[in-house]
Structure 1
Amino acid sequence: MGLKKKLGTSIAAAVLGVSLIGGGTFAYFSSAETSNNTLAAGTLDVVLDKPVIIEIDNLKPGDWMDRTFKLENIGSLDMSKVLLLTDYTQSGVKGDEDIGKHIQVNFLKNFDKETGFNDNVIYHETLYNLKNASPDTVQGYSSKIFKTEDGLAAGEINNLYVQFEFVDNEEDQNAFQDATLQLKWTFDAKQTEGESK
């Protein structure tokens, strides 16, 4: 067979192979099933029943003010704990004094949770120390205040009681006449641990 004839036969076989690959069909059984799935995240949402817990004038050493407020979990997820973060600014203080060292906060028994304390005061600390507390200290006193070993379940409300006291140290406190303290409390809710669903 001549070279031209061999070459022609090879080309023809190649074209036939390509046509079988490109245009050929194969019969087989098949079955398909579609799964439509949803993964939706829950919400963690803590709210206060009032935007201002305390606002008062004409304080003097020895005065105290009792206040109540409600803390509610309006989210869909349970909270493992609520941390109380404290910050404040002061104005009108004479010298380098800090009025936060003289304002003590007495956290009173949370009657929605069993505290185990006979005394009505669960925890007390100055605003200065609350503001400057380490994260571990914040977590420690927050668990005492809110009694959140059982957390704050979705839909649950806690009634909280607090007393602000301008401590009379029986010394000269004239540096605080006409002083003002602006207090900011942030209630920082944390989720519970992850679990099998």
Structure 2
Amino acid sequence: MSIKKKLGLGIAAATLGISLVGGGTYAYFNDTDVSTNTFAAGTLDLEVDPTVIFDVDNLKPGDYMLRHFDLENKGTLDIARVLLDTSYTVTDTQGDNGSADFGEHIVVKFLVNKGHSEHWFDNDQYTVISEKSLKQLSNTTEEDLAVELEDWFFGSDYPQDGIPAGKEDDLYVKIEFVDNEQDQNVFQGDSLELEWTFTAEQEEGEEK
């Protein structure tokens, strides 16, 4: 075989090889489509009104204050429950409190209505569900407090203690400077700053 024929066969073989490789890039008929998915998280938005309800001067043992909070769920998700965390600071103006804690003498009573709303604070229209001093509340976990007060605490107009999206509920409390019938002079002129932190929790996840 001449060199020219050998070269010709070599070129043919090379060309065939290329065509085989090229043929491998073509598949059977196929079609594609794209699935576009969106996952949007809902919102929890608890608004408490008013933000300041206790701004009282010249308290004396035996004085008390009846107040209420409006709790509004302005989010898109139902609130399963609202937890309450308590913290406070005392300013001892005379510096003579020693180990006495003003917070032990301020008692919070959580109330539930059993009558018409216009007579909410009449003595015969509410029931005290629980009462704790600020000192006790500050040492009680949010979870323990919620369990203790069960379904009465926050959202009592709705199943369990939640607030549906777009709805609101109330929290009624009575705060008292307890007269313990003992010498409480060390608290004269003192002030107490109370901070309540309300935390809204979502309901359990469900199939969508």
Deviates further, 92-101 or 80-89: 92-101
Contact 1:111–1:159 (CA under 8 A) maintained in structure 2: no
Alignment match of 2:198 (pick from 183, 187, 196): 187
- Of all paired residues, the percent bearing the same amino acid is 52
- In 2, the alpha carbon distance for the partners of 1:48 and 1:186 equals 10
Structure 1: stretches of 5+ with no match in the other structure: 113-117
Alignment match of 1:173 (pick from 184, 197, 208): 184
Contact 2:64–2:175 (CA under 8 A) maintained in structure 1: yes
Question: What's the counterpart of residue 153 of structure 2?
Answer: 145
Q: TM-score, normalised by structure 2?
A: 0.80
Equivalent pairs counted in the alignment come to 192
Contact 2:83–2:142 (CA under 8 A) maintained in structure 1: no
Question: What's the counterpart of residue 51 of structure 1?
Answer: 51
Contact 2:82–2:161 (CA under 8 A) maintained in structure 1: no
Structure 2: stretches of 5+ with no match in the other structure: 116-124
> Compared with structure 1, are the counterparts of its residues 111 and 193 closer, same or farther at alpha carbon in structure 2 (3 Å cutoff)?
farther
Which deviations, in whole Å up to 9, do the C-alpha atoms of 1:98-117 show, x marking residues without a partner? Answer: 111100011111569xxxxx
Alignment match of 1:106 (pick from 91, 104, 109): 109
Question: What's the counterpart of residue 115 of structure 1?
Answer: none
Tell me the CA shift for residue 32 of structure 1: 2.3
> Compared with structure 1, are the counterparts of its residues 52 and 195 closer, same or farther at alpha carbon in structure 2 (3 Å cutoff)?
same
Question: What's the counterpart of residue 38 of structure 2?
Answer: 38
* Partner secondary structure for residue 139 of structure 1: helix
Question: What's the counterpart of residue 155 of structure 1?
Answer: 166
- In 2, the alpha carbon distance for the partners of 1:128 and 1:50 equals 23
Q: TM-score, normalised by structure 1?
A: 0.84
- In 2, the alpha carbon distance for the partners of 1:150 and 1:50 equals 20
